[in-house]
Structure 1
Amino acid sequence: MNSDLNGGKSPRACMVSFYYAPEYSGSAIQAGNLCRHLNRMGVETIVVTAMLSSRLPEEAIDGIKVFRLKVLKSGDFQIPSFWLALCWFLIRKRKEFDVIHAHGTLQHGPVGIIGRLLGKPTFLKVAMANSDIAFHRHGRIWGRVNKFFFLRFDRYIATSEQIRREYLSKGLPPEVIVRIPNGVDTDRFRPCGSSKEKEDLKKSFGFPAGPLIMFCGVIIPRKNVELIVRVFCQIHKDHPTTHLALVGPWPKEDETNPGGYMGNLHRLLREAGLQDHVTFTGYRDCVDLYLRAADVFFFPSKQEGMPNVLLEAMSCGLPCIVSRISGTEDLIDDGVNGMLLDPESVEEFAGALRAILGDPGLRHQLGNNARTSIMEQFALSRTAGRITSLYLHSLSGESPSERT
């Protein structure tokens, strides 16, 4: 990192994320991880977010100063109310940061314009492919408003090849787009040191000793959890010692709606007589320990940006069977460090899972290669270094070329 580009000073970054801890969001998790690593590298960061719960308006989380802005509780005007509060915050706090980095598009619209007024470089990272900047889906008026705001940022971070192509399709010139993937903390997310460590972790979480298949994430239709359950019901008769762990929260409304998504999953398991072979853990902070306890990672999501949890599973040395979508294609070399499959095909996933469960050598090979891929290309320290370089080159007026 060459801080001479900024007069010998490290840059100070204001991270804008509508959702932030304890609110659960993949983009918010990645923002928090990035902030912690930037701080270690000498880049001072603050976070501004929406006050969506009863937490304090200002607090420190993991040494990072977090400001929460009051917004309308719900409805069509919640996001515009955040825009107004955000604009006033950025103006008031303008002397406390050098750059503004928005994590996600829709909730952070005016950042680009405010940055220009303040003379601060602005950066946008799209969180979800085929969604955040699919303006035709936002309605006639809001689509135009969101596109207007989107085009006012200085630099655009593409975490995946599909997102880079989406940027280009919206008319952005290639020189303002920088490919920087999400990163993962490879010290926290690491393989087990021994088979005994894995056995002890399984026991501590109440899992049986056999092969453990794991999914981590919010249990919603977009994550395609129903496919996981259907595949598990299909393969369990051939692999009766396997157990499935679904690690993550689910919408509160599903808890009281037997006809909802969760209710349907439980119905499928009851009909197959497999309720005792599947664990719904709910939200867990220690995802690293759960992943370390697993033997196979199962991720058939239908839509992502670059999924944090896949980075984490690969970093833990797990063989991963995942859907062929944006982000996963940038991480998985099919048959080398994981398997890429059709997110609509129960049969493809069932075949892949049978192959991995039936061949310990294949499990070991895919898992080792996954860990190697992460260490070489997707370590969070590497991502944080490239982000820091991007900030510095922007502050110096240089082009954010692939040198970042």
Structure 2
Amino acid sequence: MDARPLQVAIVRARYNPYGGAERFVQRALAALASGGAEVTVIARRWTPPRDGEAAVPMRLLRVDPFHLGSLWRDWSFARGVRRVLAGRSFDIVQSHERIAGLPLYRAGDGVHAEYLAQRRRAEPGWRAALTAASPYHRYVLAAERAMFTHPALRAVICNSEMVRGEIHSRFGVPMDKLHLVRNGVDLERFRPPTLAERSAAREGLGLEPGRTVFAYVGSGFARKGLAASIRALAAMPGARGVGHPAVAGAGAGAGAIPRTCAGIGRAAAEAAIAAAPKPLPPVLLVAGADRKLAAHRALAGRLGVAGQVRFLGGVDDVRPVLWAADAFVLPTLYDPFPNAVLEALACGLPAVTSTRSGAAEFIRAGENGFVVDALDIGGIARALDALADPQGRGARAAAARASVAPLSLDALGAQLIALYRRLIESPAP
């Protein structure tokens, strides 16, 4: 094979600078460019990233046919992509959209059928019925099945073993066509903070020293479990200032005098307790934009934790949010492999995520986080409470960072280039 640069086309309908899937595309582009590939992006809309990530050399082909509504939008984009590709030649066409007839698909959005199955668990019956009858969801399900069963499909890039298993079991795609290439994370950019950086981050967010802070990062609040995170925060022992057992005296019964006050008499002990500063209730930082922000703000108010849930909106650079926090929470209903969890782990934050999150494959219970069912509010609360304990915080931070150390952008680029070379060297039958 000649030594000319690989000609790679990446198909992604829309780039949202806050979206996890789009952030993967941006990082993949950087990795491919550094590996010598020449990249063309075929997109309906593409907005450069705004969080300091370097721009990547690429050619942009816009495909944005007239449309009304989501179904027509997706259908017309798929048809437009096929027309564009019919008149051009690429070594590799990697689609991030459900378009039948293309050779390589990256299942970054997971399996829509599985997402709907998980969504039904959290919806009332009437809403689940509406979802099942939705023309748009019916179109996506049909497009998904047509793509996975199309004879032209040669390979699928899966970002987690969870997604790999779902595709195989639901559509019968052979395992040797399902290639595991996990998301990469910029390990230089996302790293544990220095003491000065952590102090500056907390001060910038108005956080007092000694307050336990949890971080949530992500748009699409309903799917990614923000309501469950708020409910879990409210269910924690320290949500209203009771304090963590490690501070208040673990195992003390009602009315018991903490060990630190033993021997000075009940009256003096009670006076000392009354005069002591009250433990600060934990705070949940929410970085992300969503149309249902008001509903989630109202939920926090009803649960009595409005003052502890701080909505930051869409954040260009999430590092100060992560650096200010003690743990990360994303109890998503369904997420193939959330970049937000990787970035948190890389910053040394232990993470609480769900059983239907691809990132759960990197969590070791108690070491760098916990894996809990997305609807188990009590379980999420207990996990957060365990991570609020200052004892072992340094060990958890080290374990979190170590768990994602192999997922560098260089490793991502090398895996993608190697897969492309294999596909080129073994042409389709």
Q: Is the shorter-chain TM-score for this pair beyond 0.5, marking a shared fold?
A: yes
Structure 2 residue corresponding to 1:99, chosen from 61, 83, 92: 92
How far apart in 2 are the matches of 1:360 and 1:66? 51
Question: CA, structure 1 residues 300+48, in 2 after alignment: closer, same or farther (shift >3 Å)?
Answer: same
Query: In the alignment, which residue of structure 1 is the partner of 2:106?
Result: 125
DSSP-derived class of the 1:162 partner: helix
* Correspondences of 1:261-280 after superposition (within 5 Å): 262-280=293-311
Q: Which residue identity does 2:396 align to in structure 1?
A: L
Question: CA, structure 1 residues 129+83, in 2 after alignment: closer, same or farther (shift >3 Å)?
Answer: closer
Structure 1 residue corresponding to 2:145, chosen from 144, 147, 159: 147
Query: In the alignment, which residue of structure 2 is the partner of 1:207?
Result: 207
Question: CA, structure 1 residues 73+190, in 2 after alignment: closer, same or farther (shift >3 Å)?
Answer: farther
Deviation at 1:139, TM superposition (A): 6.8
Deviation at 1:140, TM superposition (A): 6.8
What do the CA deviations read for 1:304-334 (whole angstroms, capped 9, x no partner)? 1111111111111111122122402322122
Question: CA, structure 1 residues 273+168, in 2 after alignment: closer, same or farther (shift >3 Å)?
Answer: closer
* Correspondences of 1:129-208 after superposition (within 5 Å): 129-131=110-112, 143-150=141-148, 151=150, 152-169=152-169, 170-193=171-194, 195-208=195-208
Query: In the alignment, which residue of structure 1 is the partner of 2:234?
Result: 233
Query: In the alignment, which residue of structure 2 is the partner of 1:339?
Result: 370
How far apart in 1 are the matches of 2:138 and 2:229? 37
Task: Please state if 1:49 is matched with 2:43.
Answer: yes
Q: Which residue identity does 2:83 align to in structure 1?
A: W
Task: Please state if 1:247 is matched with 2:287.
Answer: yes
Larger Rg: 2
Query: Is the deviation greater in 163-172 or in 263-272?
Result: 263-272
How far apart in 1 are the matches of 2:73 and 2:312? 31
TM-score (norm 1): 0.82
DSSP-derived class of the 2:187 partner: coil
Give the CA RMSD over aligned residues: 2.6
DSSP-derived class of the 2:44 partner: strand
Question: CA, structure 1 residues 35+133, in 2 after alignment: closer, same or farther (shift >3 Å)?
Answer: farther
Query: In the alignment, which residue of structure 1 is the partner of 2:398?
Result: 368
DSSP-derived class of the 1:199 partner: helix
Aligned positions, number: 361
Question: CA, structure 1 residues 141+283, in 2 after alignment: closer, same or farther (shift >3 Å)?
Answer: closer
Question: CA, structure 1 residues 35+111, in 2 after alignment: closer, same or farther (shift >3 Å)?
Answer: farther
Deviation at 1:355, TM superposition (A): 1.6
Q: Which residue identity does 1:370 align to in structure 2?
A: A
Contact 1:52 1:73 in 2 (8 A): no
Contact 1:211 1:241 in 2 (8 A): yes
Deviation at 1:224, TM superposition (A): 1.4
Task: Please state if 1:397 is matched with 2:426.
Answer: yes
How far apart in 2 are the matches of 1:275 and 1:295? 20
* Correspondences of 1:367-386 after superposition (within 5 Å): 367-375=397-405, 377-386=406-415
What do the CA deviations read for 1:186-245 (whole angstroms, capped 9, x no partner)? 11111102x222011121233333222100001421111111111222221234242210
Contact 2:352 2:369 in 1 (8 A): yes
DSSP-derived class of the 1:360 partner: coil
What do the CA deviations read for 1:89-143 (whole angstroms, capped 9, x no partner)? 2233x24x320111142xxx1451xxxxxxxxx3111123442678996777764
Deviation at 1:247, TM superposition (A): 0.4
Contact 2:115 2:334 in 1 (8 A): no
Q: Which residue identity does 2:95 align to in structure 1?
A: A
Q: Unaligned stretches of 5+ in structure 2?
A: 48-53, 118-131, 244-279
Question: CA, structure 1 residues 326+230, in 2 after alignment: closer, same or farther (shift >3 Å)?
Answer: closer
Deviation at 1:391, TM superposition (A): 0.5
Q: Which residue identity does 1:331 align to in structure 2?
A: F
Percent identity over the alignment is: 24
Query: In the alignment, which residue of structure 1 is the partner of 2:58?
Result: 64
Contact 1:126 1:132 in 2 (8 A): no
Query: In the alignment, which residue of structure 2 is the partner of 1:20?
Result: 15
Contact 1:297 1:321 in 2 (8 A): yes
What do the CA deviations read for 1:128-170 (whole angstroms, capped 9, x no partner)? 3442678996777764454223333211112111211122221
TM-score (norm 2): 0.77
How far apart in 1 are the matches of 2:59 and 2:359? 32
Structure 2 residue corresponding to 1:387, chosen from 406, 416, 429: 416
